[in-house]
Amino acid sequence: MDKLSLAKSLDEIASLLESGESLNKPTIAVTNFLSELGADNINHAIENLKHEANIIIVGEKYTDEFEYYEASDDAGNAEVIEGLFKEGKIDAAVTMHYPFPIGVSTVGRVVSPANGKYVYIANTTGTNDTNREKAMVLNAVDGIIAAKANGIKNPTIGILNVDSARVVEKKLKELKHNGFELTFSESKRGDGGVVFRGNDLLAASSDIVVCDSLTGNVIQKVFSSYTSGGFYETTGSGYGPSIGEGFYTPVYIVSRASGTPVIESAIRYAIASAKGNINEVSKEVFKAANKAGLKEILASLEPKQSAADTEEVKVPDKEIVNASIGGIDILEIEDAIKVVHKNGIYAESAMGCTGPVVMVSEDKLEQVRKILQEANFIE
């Protein structure tokens, strides 16, 4: 062992004796490129947390101290992160963009300006379902998973007063009645209730606030950047870990406008969740929810379909999809995929930073774009 390695080991042992923490630190991949604030904005956060986690950099080389994988665009970044998960090299990743499939979305975390308490916003990017009501029920389950993995044994829930809030309240109460562990909070407004107003967000009336992911995305941005006048994000922990049933590669999303404090807090969110074994928590919570009839409750929210809606379309042979087409309404994304399949081209749906996208092979990108334009899905 050389002198530098010996000194590092002694330093870690001294830190262990002082803090009582385990030396088994989580390994987190962090991307340090494509930030609107520059690479140093992220590198400073990495530097500040190098003793709390084993950090692997994806993007631009920083120093020889960190293991590093080159990437220069979103597609390359996703490919590297996916490979690191497959190799079992990382427990989580923190990045500014990742193409989640439908059925996976992220739980953000903000700081209440009233009392400095963390509030989990379920959810903030991606989508659990193209049906808003079904998505929000699943968002509540995701929120519970994120909160439990971060040490809140019995997190409380409020439902933001958006479209479908009352339907979601009814379905979550049904899930609770069936035996699922779920604790509702009360609005601080005079008439109380589990449906929250904006005041309750500011006051942190519950540990988790359930909403649709597009509304959650706006909430996350406002809470994170109001102190800077909206120019960059200064508070909160970013848009959170990707959660979905059977999805065990947690990717924590931050914004291209996230400042160093937010990047640092997002990495800490990933570290704490890894230590809290978020994947095992996810398995246990979904198992309990399914035992309480989650699948049946979701099925009850399906609209009645016409013969045209149920038309069977043969899915072409699967192929690598590495290009995306955006600008499609979330309620139309599955119909758009069906139209592409009708034309004999394989496609998948995913969620990008600004909404749903159709993923196709790059060599068929322009052909699919024309198909979607002719079908009036995009302009």
> Which burial class, exposed, middle or buried, applies to 86 when counting CB atoms under 10 A from its CB (0-12, 13-18, 19+)?
exposed
Angle between helices 132-149 and 213-225 (to 10 degrees): 50
Angstrom distance (rounded) from CA 225 to CA 214: 17
Angstrom distance (rounded) from CA 144 to CA 156: 8
Angstrom distance (rounded) from CA 61 to CA 116: 35
Residue type (1 letter), 34:
L
Angstrom distance (rounded) from CA 171 to CA 190: 24
- Residue 211 is a catalytic residue: no
Catalytic residue among 111, 167, 353, 375: 353
- Annotated active-site positions, please? 353
